[in-house]
Amino acid sequence: MIAATLAALKEYRKVATVVVCAGVAAAFYIQWQTAKDAGARAAADRASLIAAADGTCLALNSQFRPGGVRREQWGMACLNEARRLGRIEGDLAKGDAAALIAALDERMGKEAADAALAAAMSKRAVDAVARMEAADAAVENDRVGAGWACAVNDLGGLRAPGC
């Protein structure tokens, strides 16, 4: 039986070689197609992940792919913002809310002081304009006096000792 098989292989050696080569070629073709499909799936997965990262970072008021940044650095600004927000969330969870509220009160106090100062400066400017208009109306014969000069200085934000 073995002798008969060896004799048949010897006789059909060329056919057997072609069949083996065709089998190996088919195996390589299947691997190539599988790799090509895997590459397409990887590209689609990469695009999907980048889109998801863009959306997530947008929710954090950051950018995943900021302009002028190398590809290796994509997501770093977003990661830092996420870490910052995570620290804030952790502080809130630990009970450090009192420190956050104190900082918020301080900031709001500064904002209120700035608003009060702006209102006072606005009133002062309106008063200076009114004094300048009154000083202009008091000018007679194209001659101005010390009151007019004081009104001009006050309008410019200067304070004269004698005014």
Alpha-carbon distance of 59 to 37, in angstroms, equals 33
> Beta-strand (E) ranges in 10-151?
none
Tens digit of each residue's pLDDT (9 = 90 or more) over 36-48: 888 888 888 889 9
Buried b (16+ CB within 10 A) or exposed e, 112-130: eeeeeeeeeeeeeeeebee
pLDDT band at 95; cut points 50, 70, 90:
low
Mean pLDDT of 140-147: 82
146 SS3 class = helix
- Asked whether the predicted pLDDT for residue 97 surpasses 70, the reply is no
Q: Which residues of 29-56 are buried (b: 16+ CB within 10 A; e: fewer)?
A: eeeeeeeeeeeeeeeeeeeeeeeebbee
**Cα–chain-centroid distance for residue 153?**
47
pLDDT tier for residue 132 given thresholds of 50, 70 and 90: confident
**DSSP reduced 3-state for 140:** strand
Q: Output the average pLDDT for the chain.
A: 85
Q: What is the pLDDT of residue 157?
A: 78
Give the mean pLDDT of 114-139.
Answer: 88
pLDDT at 12 (0 to 100): 84
Query: If you average pLDDT over residues 127-155, what whole number do you get?
Result: 85
Query: What's the rounded mean pLDDT across residues 70-90?
Result: 87
Q: According to the model, what pLDDT value does residue 39 have?
A: 82
**Which residues 6+ apart lie within 8 Å of 156 measured at CB?**
none
Q: What is the pLDDT of residue 25?
A: 93
| Distance of alpha carbon 94 from alpha carbon 97, whole angstroms | 8
155-160: average pLDDT: 77
Which is it for the CA torsion 81, 83, 86, 90, positive or negative?
negative
pLDDT band at 160 (very low <50, low <70, confident <90, very high): low
